[in-house]
A = this chain, B = another copy of it.
Amino acid sequence: MKVIKDSVHDHIAVEGIARELLDTPTVQRLRGIAQLGTVSLVYPSANHTRFEHSLGVYHLACEALEQLGIDGRQATRVEAAALLHDVGHGPFSHNVEGIVHRETGRYHDDVGDLLASGEVAAILENHGLDPAAVAGLVAGKGRFGQLVSGELDVDRMDYLVRDAHHTGVPYGTIDHGRLVRELTFVDGELVLGEGNVQTAESLLVARALMNPTVYNHSAARIAKAMLRCAVEGLIDSGAVEAERVARMDDHDLIVSLRRTDETETFARRLDHRELYKRAVWAEIDDVPGGIIEADHDSIREFEGEIAGEAGVSPDEVIVDVPDRPSMTESTSRVVVNGEIRRLGRQSALVDALRAAQYSQWRLGVYSPPEVRERVGHAAVRTLGLEIDGPLVSETRDGLYATLDQFAE
């Protein structure tokens, strides 16, 4: 047994298969991937990695398995999946996931290939586990997949607490001890036992508070959009292939961007925190549906058009269109009066938070500060936005306005 000191869970005992998997290059690589990508440009203390998060998820999985009375091979399989659940992440975690998916067809939880070869496969097989079954758990499949990747998974329980701890934001605090204790299987579904509507809601509230404050902070979104453009430039330049980008860690990607002519301007800007500024910041009701649904190629065309009209270089216009709001946790299930119900049916809070999320949604157009005005007006015309008043209103009327002035 190995005991590792963790700043969130204190001591984490790593045993059995986890002990072996921990030392593989596949897992060690996660040391080089920041959990929150560009968020550290806003919250300077948020430098934690996917590696420590994976240890935390493994730790909570062990507690949940004990609580659920599961052991033997089934437990080993879940432990392995918990520790391995993030090995499919590319550099900067979710920040470049979209590009990687577009180019390779894989999301971060498609880990079938990664688990089927090399040291990891050998270890899994030594323990009598089928790599494909473990990959299935990581993708949320089956009864136990819900524990690793579902609405009530231990992944979520670790990252909310860990991200709050490292950013210093007091909003992500959930009672993970209680959540883990109350997990139970009813008819093959992972649910929270009787009397836990509030427990389920606390997950939802934590996310609702962390989203605008941390995960979607406007400056982090701008940096992320710039990083995305840079990575596209890197691949387009032919310097690095998409498949290789997907397997890089942050160090590799940062240095590749610095050392490639086509991307070194973006790299320098990110290094020195010379971020683009918002040229437009539009609410969902002001954006034509066609724009919200537009695919990546159309967006790139819009960017080119806007750049043309504004008389700036295409690299100086970024159109950032988030997905339509969704709320995974609303489908988590709780036992109420002996019956399993979806939280969204049970809780008035779910609708309120959904409305909040809707009202917080923003399309952003970003550019260097000196051309911001020109780009803004060109974007409004090109995208057909209907904005009254200033193009970027710092005074947001949505719920949970991002806390710009309180972060670097």
**Which residue of chain B lies nearest to A274 when distances are taken between CB atoms in the complex?**
B23
Given contacts A6-B45, A167-B7, A406-B5, whether A399 and B348 have CB atoms under 8 Å apart is: yes
User: In the complex, which residue of chain B has the Cβ closest to the Cβ of A248?
Assistant: B255
Contact A4 B178 (CB under 8 A): no
New contact pairs (9) apart from A6-B168, A336-B397, CB-CB < 8 Å: A24-B272, A29-B271, A31-B41, A44-B49, A44-B52, A170-B173, A195-B404, A195-B405, A196-B401
Residues from chain B with Cβ under 8 Å of A336 in the complex: 395, 397
Complex contact B178–A406 (CB within 8 A): yes
A window 254-281: CB within 8 A of B: 254-256, 258, 271-273
Rounded to whole Å, the gap between the CB of A213 and the closest CB of chain B is: 7
Name the 4 nearest CB pairs between A and B, nearest first: A352-B352, A7-B45, A255-B255, A7-B168
Please give the count of copies of this chain that the complex contains.
4
Segment from A134-142, A145-153, A197-205, A232-240 that makes contact with B? A197-205
* Complexed CA–CA distance, A103 and B47 (Å): 31
Q: List residues of chain B with CB within 8 A of the CB of A44.
A: 4, 6, 31, 49, 51-52, 55
**Assembled-state Cα–Cα distance A213/B174 (Å):** 13
**Across-interface contacts of A348 in B (CB, < 8 A):** 352, 355-356, 359, 399
Tell me, in angstroms, the Cα distance from A396 to B334 when the chains sit together: 12
Chain B's closest residue to A407 (CB) is B5
Question: In this assembly, does A188 line the interface, its C-beta being within 8 Å of a C-beta of chain B?
Answer: no
Q: Quick check: A45 and B40 within 8 Å, CB to CB? A: no
Which residues of A in the span 127-181 have a Cβ within 8 Å of any Cβ on B?
Answer: 165-171, 173-175, 177-178, 181
Interface assignment of A393: CB less than 8 Å from any CB of chain B: yes
* 30 intermolecular pairs with C-beta atoms under 8 Å apart: A3-B407, A4-B407, A5-B167, A5-B169, A7-B45, A7-B165, A7-B167, A7-B168, A11-B177, A14-B408, A31-B40, A44-B51, A47-B48, A47-B52, A170-B173, A171-B202, A194-B395, A195-B395, A195-B401, A197-B400, A198-B209, A202-B209, A251-B254, A337-B397, A347-B399, A349-B352, A349-B356, A349-B399, A351-B352, A352-B353
Tell whether A308 is near chain B: CB-to-CB under 8 Å. Answer: no
Say whether A273 contacts B28, CB under 8 Å.
yes
User: Is A302's CB within 8 Å of the partner chain B?
Assistant: no
- The reply on A250 being an interface residue by CB < 8 A is yes
Beyond A171-B173, A197-B401, A198-B403, whether A337 also contacts B395 by CB under 8 A is yes
| 1/0 contact string of A115-133 vs chain B (CB within 8 Å) | 0000000000000000000
User: Once the chains are docked, how many angstroms separate the CA of A8 from the CA of B44?
Assistant: 11
- Is A325 engaged at the interface, CB distance under 8 Å to the other chain? no
Tell me the bound Cα distance from A194 to B2 in angstroms.
Answer: 16
> Does A361 touch B at the CB level, under 8 Å?
no
Chain A: interface residue total (CB-CB under 8 A): 93
Residues of B within 8 A of A196 (CB): 401
The answer, yes or no, to whether A346 is at the interface (CB within 8 Å) is yes
Q: Does A398 sit at the interface, judged by CB under 8 A?
A: yes
Enumerate chain B residues within 8 angstroms of A295, measured Cβ to Cβ. Answer: none
Chain A 36-68 per-residue mask, 1 if CB under 8 angstroms from chain B, else 0? 000011011101110110010000000000000
A272-B168 in contact given A201-B399, A337-B395 (Cβ < 8 Å): no
Q: How far is the CB of A270 from chain B (nearest CB, A)?
A: 10
A201 partner residues in chain B, CB cutoff 8 A = 399-400
Interface flag for A322 (CB, 8 Å)? no
Inter-chain contacts of A177 with B (CB < 8 A): 10-11
Most buried by B among A55, A165, A272: A272
